[in-house]
């Protein structure tokens, strides 16, 4: 029976802890003092004690938002990364989302966020969350709404598919020749991401998935009055936020949606990804 420390995190980690317990691990938790509901069998400990006692340590996604302390919204106390890292010692297996590997010295570090399987599952939860946001914010149906999905990566593909089933009028922007053919093959319209400014005025709903500032001043000057613009790209995001605000464009930066809109699934995704890594590397 292996001991795992779960240090920091939100509702996702609570689901993760349930699954770890269910699968026979002993779980030490740190940073969940304010959580309403933690599985009974969880052992509470300080971050340092948990880290030292466990063979496997799991940090949240992201490990830290401020680069100083562990992301731990349920914690009463700050958990400093550097001091914790020093106390861990050597020879452990450490998991984290977007983890800085060099901080943790002579341990085996795995970033579950980088795994393709995590990315896909996370994209599914993100696409669903984005549509929930759009559906909530729009006073119209998605059916018949002229919609632009900027970017044809994982999230863009899923968004296009679901929005199409809603009967939205879906256009996808992309840059590569082969993407244009796939987009057409799947029944959507396509435009060139490099020519957004020429086309953007047509859309009532725009969802950006591209992690570059493609919604710059000239593109934002061209959007339709009353458009809803949802940005899914990680900071600094794909939209010139200040300019959008100065133009009174209805703009929502929807980050970390899976943790907010589907925390139970998001916790399961983390569990499964870690489980796969453990099986591949240590069995």
Provide the binding-site residues for a second copy, judged by CB under 8 A. Answer: 11, 116-117, 119-121, 124-125, 128-129, 131-132, 135-136, 138-144, 158, 161-162, 164-167, 176-178, 181-182, 184-187, 258, 261-265, 276
Nearer to a second copy, 143 or 212 (CB): 143
What's the closest the beta carbon of residue 53 comes to a second copy, in angstroms?
30
Nearer to a second copy, 8 or 129 (CB): 129
What's the closest the beta carbon of residue 146 comes to a second copy, in angstroms?
13
What's the closest the beta carbon of residue 162 comes to a second copy, in angstroms?
5
Distances (CA, A) of 146 to 140, 206, 243: 11, 9, 23
Nearer to a second copy, 8 or 263 (CB): 263
From its phi and psi, is residue 156 left (phi > 0), alpha (psi between -120 and 50) or beta?
alpha
Burial pattern 117-145, b for ≥16 Cβ within 10 A else e, equals ebbebbbbbbbbbbbebbeeeeeeebeeb
Nearer to a second copy, 29 or 261 (CB): 261
181 contact partners, CB below 8 Å, separation of at least 6: none
Nearer to a second copy, 186 or 255 (CB): 186
What's the closest the beta carbon of residue 127 comes to a second copy, in angstroms?
9
Starting at the edge strand that comes first in sequence, how are the strands of the sheet with 228-231 ordered? 189-192, 169-174, 146-150, 205-208, 228-231, 250-253
Helix (H, G, I), strand (E, B) or coil at 101: helix
What's the closest the beta carbon of residue 165 comes to a second copy, in angstroms?
3
């Amino acid at each position: 029976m292996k001991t795992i420390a779960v240090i920091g995190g939100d509702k996702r980690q609570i689901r993760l802890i349930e699954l770890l317990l269910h699968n026979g691990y002993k779980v030490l938790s740190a940073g969940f003092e304010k959580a309403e509901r933690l599985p009974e069998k969880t052992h509470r400990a300080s971050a340092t004690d948990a880290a030292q006692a466990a063979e496997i340590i799991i940090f949240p996604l992201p490990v830290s938002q401020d680069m100083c302390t562990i992301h731990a919204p349920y914690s009463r106390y700050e958990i400093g990364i550097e001091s914790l890292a020093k106390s861990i010692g050597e020879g452990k297996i450490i998991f984290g989302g977007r983890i800085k590997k060099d901080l943790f010295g002579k341990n085996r570090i795995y970033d579950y966020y980088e795994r393709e399987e995590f990315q896909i599952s996370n994209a599914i939860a993100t696409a669903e969350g984005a549509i929930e946001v759009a559906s909530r914010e729009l006073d119209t149906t998605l059916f018949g709404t002229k919609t632009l999905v900027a970017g044809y990566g994982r999230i863009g593909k899923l968004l296009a598919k679901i929005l199409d089933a809603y009967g939205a009028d879906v256009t996808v922007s992309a840059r590569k020749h082969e993407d244009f053919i796939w987009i057409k093959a799947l029944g959507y319209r396509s435009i060139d991401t490099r020519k957004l400014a020429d086309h953007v005025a047509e859309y009532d709903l725009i969802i950006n998935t591209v992690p570059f500032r493609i919604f710059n001043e000239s593109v934002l000057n061209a959007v339709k009055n009353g458009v809803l613009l949802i940005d899914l790209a990680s900071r600094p995001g794909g939209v010139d936020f200040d300019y959008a605000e100065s133009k009174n464009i209805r703009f929502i930066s929807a980050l970390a949606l899976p943790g907010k809109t589907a925390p139970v699934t998001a916790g399961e995704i983390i569990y499964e990804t870690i489980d796969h890594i453990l099986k591949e590397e240590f069995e």
